[in-house]
Chain A
Amino acid sequence: MIVELKGVTKLFPGVKALDNVDLTIRSGEILGLIGENGAGKSTLMKILSGVYANGTYEGQITIDGTPVAFSSPSDAESHGVAIIHQELSTFPDLTVAENLFVGHWPKAASGMVDWQRLNQMAQTWLDTVGAPCRADEKIGDLSIGTQQLIEIAKALSRQSKVLILDEPTSSLTPTESAKLFQLLRDLRLQGKAMVYISHKMEEIFALCDRLTVLRDGQTVCSFMTTETNPDGLIEHMVGRAIQNIYPPAPKRKFGNPILELNEYRARLPERAIVLGPLSFQIRAGEIFGIGGLLGAGRTELVKAIFGDETAEQLGGEVRFLDEVVKFLTPQAALRRGLSYVSEDRKGESILPERSLIENAGISRLAVFFRGLRINHTGETERARTRLGELSTKHSSLDQSISQLSGGNQQKVIIARAMDTDAKLIILDEPTRGIDVKAKSEIYEIIFQLATQGRSILMISSDLPELMALSDRIAMMREGQLMGILAREQFSQVALMQLAVGNARKEAMA
């Protein structure tokens, strides 16, 4: 089976998102769809999966030479095309089985749902994809990785022949990712066609047979994976040769300690994790990295320091600028010169539909502004300067932040954090889900901030990134600090050993 998209053009108000794009998808093959954020990958896949209905774009989709026109996602699904979104769309309070067959529940003679058959059918599909869960568990209680497998099971149960996976590993642990890859390879053998969208080079090269690169809404090239290498691919993506996405770390002199934790212990009841005792200090101008696996308690730690209402301090102390502090609200932390960029851009950072000016300026206004009337001109100029420094791509400062790509949204949020003149900026996974070029720009910004004498506390799950940026790295595991390494001691092996803990180290030795 061959699915072809020909001459696809999609216009948004003021932007040409796709410009005459061609794409071929074959059964028994994993096609990697590569491109920076904003290159048009998601838009293209939304067209293929019926999210953008036929008629809202130009161009032609054919399956085995027969033209098709999808009016909705369910229409596309009935033609065998299913999409698994980056952000899963499950019903968290329903069971796995209910989620799998949502809307297609088998009915008994009485007209009621036949629960026994439902659970049996579901279990068969769960076994097919190797999801480690029971059919009658509530889906919200399962890990993201398992939920992802269930989404795939759902697509398979509806006889999908084409599976579109949009950054499926962005929230998965390495074990979960490995499991997913094995499943995708099995599906390939069964003759399914797959489109795989990802920014992670290792994954792309390990998994995909063929690659198509999009840039600025156009097809740049298409080739077999064996014909290229990561450097070559990045060059095609950004349209220029990038030797290294990590800029060199600038020389800095570190000043006095800005943040200091002494035997700090805390608990976040909502997350059922106990932190510490933890001790470390961050000096002025230093970039301090915190690494670890998902669930290590890194985000919980910085939130507890930054004034999470639900956090409960159990002991020890936090010193900030030479004073013992205990921030009860983010507002208090911001006032003293700490700022925080969340890992969850959509849920905890952006004010959707509001303008860039409002998004960039909200923290400074909320915390420091004392006057009666906001000076609109001054505010606009401030946003213009800030976003200019960060070279944000936007058509107008009045446009809604929702219209920007992920990387540019993140820059606006960093502008917000800079705007309060913070001494220490906490960046939680600042480059998650953004493209190579924007990543590189954000690294530059981080170095710039450190050169100005600000301290950075950066959490990242991307070890190469953490090693390239940090002056020191602390590795956490299950709420504990496993060790702090200085730059000369950095190596992926050493850091991973700390992240997985001693037990594993002994087993390896």
Chain B
Amino acid sequence: MKSKMGTFAQKNGAWIGLFGLSFIFLILTHGEFGSARNLTNLLLQATINGILAAGMTLVIITSGIDLSVGSLVAITGIVAGIAQLNWHFIDLGYTGAWLSVGVAVLVGLACGAISGLLTALLGVNPFIITLGMMVIARGGAMILSGGATLSPMSDQLGKFSDSYLPRVPSLALVLLFLLCLIWVNRKQWQNLIFPALLLAAFAYAFYGYRGLPVFVVFLVVVAALSSFWLNSTVFGRSIYAIGSNQRAAYWAGVRIKRTLFWVYTIMGAFAGLAGVLLCSRLNSADPNAGNLFELDAIAAAVIGGTSLRGGSGTVTGSLIGALIMAALNNGMDLLGISSFYQMVLKGVIIIVAVALDSSQRQKI
């Protein structure tokens, strides 16, 4: 019985962490943390890190790392800003907004492809390659912007981060999603407890505040896509195989170079999306944006159970990790803790979470 509880706790460590943390903040803030408005806000805060964490999950499962994502967020944001202001996409309304998204994603994809190509072909440690890309992209962002912040963005681009589906359809969507989840897991009800709780919280938040934020839809699409790739395609199987044992994967016929190339390319494209979404949210493009975002994404993935040794991890786990990170920021903001102390506390919690997880693993 004890061991059963143990494995349950181990499998759901991130979930327990998320709900435990929320519970603590709920008490400390006298319920304010759990208000519909704040929960919606929390989700908005988690979105960009969630998108990056989804891509980072793919990278880390191959036992790689991508340190350039923060800088890619900056350079793609700047390119989107240039598109808006210098190329006058700002005058094209929604078409212009979507074109800006497209340009940013393409630039991110191209940068990722360069990292991927070098990692795959030269076989150089991705730590080094992406470290170089991190510095190059930051420098590129400075050059392109002249070191200045570009603003404002078009209202239509701004809408991406500031519009909501109506409340009733939002509620219906969440319920529909819940039903799908129940159907998929109908034989393993214990997998359902935490996701159902989370969805219930969001249903309450969307209904109680302004509805489902459109911003979050981007995250849902990215996460669904990554999850599908990992679980149901040869690409995903190759990712797990490479991270689990690259030599065995090679002799089994896995296309190692091609897979690694696409993993870094996808990470770059996601960083591009995150870059333009950040512009939308801030209504400006800042060459200093995205500082240390790569570390937040790595932390979210690792807190969510993705092993840095490669070969294991899930997108769902990383999303919970991103929510934990957002909950920490949000909760501490509500409590009025100074951002200096927040940094220290966040670091401590990341270390504790991973230490707990690895000590759990060793016991088995």
Contact = CB atoms under 8 A, between A and B. Distances in A.
Interface of A: 13, 306, 329-331, 333-335, 340, 342, 347-354, 358, 361-363, 365-367, 369, 372-374, 376, 416, 420
A362 B311 contact: no
Interface in B1-28: 3, 7
Contact of A348 (B228, B232, B247): B247
A335 B251 CA distance: 13
Which secondary structure dominates where chain A touches chain B? Answer: helix
B236 to A, nearest CB: 8
B248 A366 contact: no
Contact of B253 (A13, A334, A342, A353): A334
Contact of B311 (A353, A361, A376): A353
B257 to A, nearest CB: 9
Interface string B250-285: 111111000000000000000000000000000000
Interface stretch (B128-136, B238-246, B294-302): B238-246
A367 B245 contact: no
A367 B253 contact: yes
A228 B304 CA distance: 56
B5 to A, nearest CB: 13
A350 B237 contact: no
Contacts of B176: none
A372 B241 CA distance: 18
Contact of A416 (B7, B228, B252): B252
A108 to B, nearest CB: 37
A369 B244 CA distance: 21
B86 interface: no
B312 A331 contact: no
Contact of B248 (A351, A361, A373): A351
A373 B232 contact: yes
25 contacts: A306-B251, A329-B253, A330-B252, A331-B255, A342-B248, A347-B245, A348-B248, A350-B245, A350-B248, A351-B241, A351-B249, A353-B311, A354-B240, A354-B311, A361-B237, A362-B253, A363-B253, A365-B234, A365-B237, A366-B234, A366-B241, A366-B254, A366-B255, A369-B234, A373-B228
A349 B247 CA distance: 8
Contact of A352 (B245, B252, B254): B245
A353 B311 CA distance: 8
A362 B252 contact: yes
Given A13-B3, A353-B244, A366-B253, 9 more contacts: A330-B253, A342-B251, A358-B241, A362-B249, A362-B254, A366-B241, A366-B252, A373-B228, A420-B253
B234 A13 contact: no
B193 interface: no
A348 B251 contact: yes
Contact of A376 (B7, B232, B244): B232
Contacts of B237: 358, 361-362, 365-366, 374
A503 to B, nearest CB: 35
Nearest to A364: B253
A374 B311 contact: no
Contacts of B249: 351, 362
Contacts of B252: 330, 351, 362-363, 366, 416
B95 interface: no
B233 interface: yes
Contact of B250 (A330, A352, A354, A374): A330
Contacts of A354: 240-241, 244, 311
B245 A362 contact: no
B238 A13 contact: no
A46 to B, nearest CB: 15
Nearest to B238: A366
A351 B238 CA distance: 11
A335 B253 CA distance: 9
A17 to B, nearest CB: 14
B364 interface: yes
A202 B251 CA distance: 34
Contact of A372 (B233, B251, B255, B364): B233
Interface in B204-243: 228, 232-234, 237-238, 240-241
Among B238, B245, B251, residue most surrounded by chain A Cβ atoms (within 10 Å) = B251
Contact of B234 (A342, A353, A374): A374
Given A13-B364, A365-B237, A351 B244 contact: yes
Contacts of A420: 253
Contacts of A351: 240-241, 244-245, 248-249, 252, 311
A261 B56 CA distance: 46
Nearest to A417: B252
Contacts of B228: 373
Contacts of B364: 13
Nearest to A303: B251
Contact of A358 (B232, B240, B251, B253): B240
Nearest to A350: B248
Given A351-B311, A366-B237, A340 B244 contact: no
Nearest to B364: A13
Contacts of B251: 306, 330, 340, 342, 348-349
A373 B252 CA distance: 20
B349 to A, nearest CB: 26
Contacts of A365: 234, 237
B240 to A, nearest CB: 6
Contacts of A372: 233
Contacts of A334: 253
B278 to A, nearest CB: 31
Nearest to A375: B232
Contacts of B3: 13
A193 to B, nearest CB: 31
Given A358-B237, A365-B234, A372-B233, A353 B312 contact: yes
Contacts of A13: 3, 7, 364
A308 B71 CA distance: 38
A349 to B, nearest CB: 5
A400 to B, nearest CB: 10
A235 to B, nearest CB: 36
B153 to A, nearest CB: 36
B115 to A, nearest CB: 22
Contacts of A376: 232
A374 B244 contact: no
The 10 A-B residue pairs with the shortest CB-CB distance in the complex, in nearest-first order: A351-B244, A334-B253, A331-B253, A366-B254, A367-B253, A366-B253, A363-B252, A373-B232, A362-B252, A363-B253
Nearest to B236: A374
Nearest to B4: A13
Among A306, A365, A376, residue most surrounded by chain B Cβ atoms (within 10 Å) = A365
Nearest to B258: A331
B131 to A, nearest CB: 25
Contacts of A329: 253
Contacts of B255: 331, 366
Contact of B233 (A342, A358, A373): A373
Contacts of A362: 237, 241, 249, 252-254
Nearest to B237: A365
A372 to B, nearest CB: 7
A369 B7 CA distance: 35
A428 to B, nearest CB: 10
B234 A352 contact: no
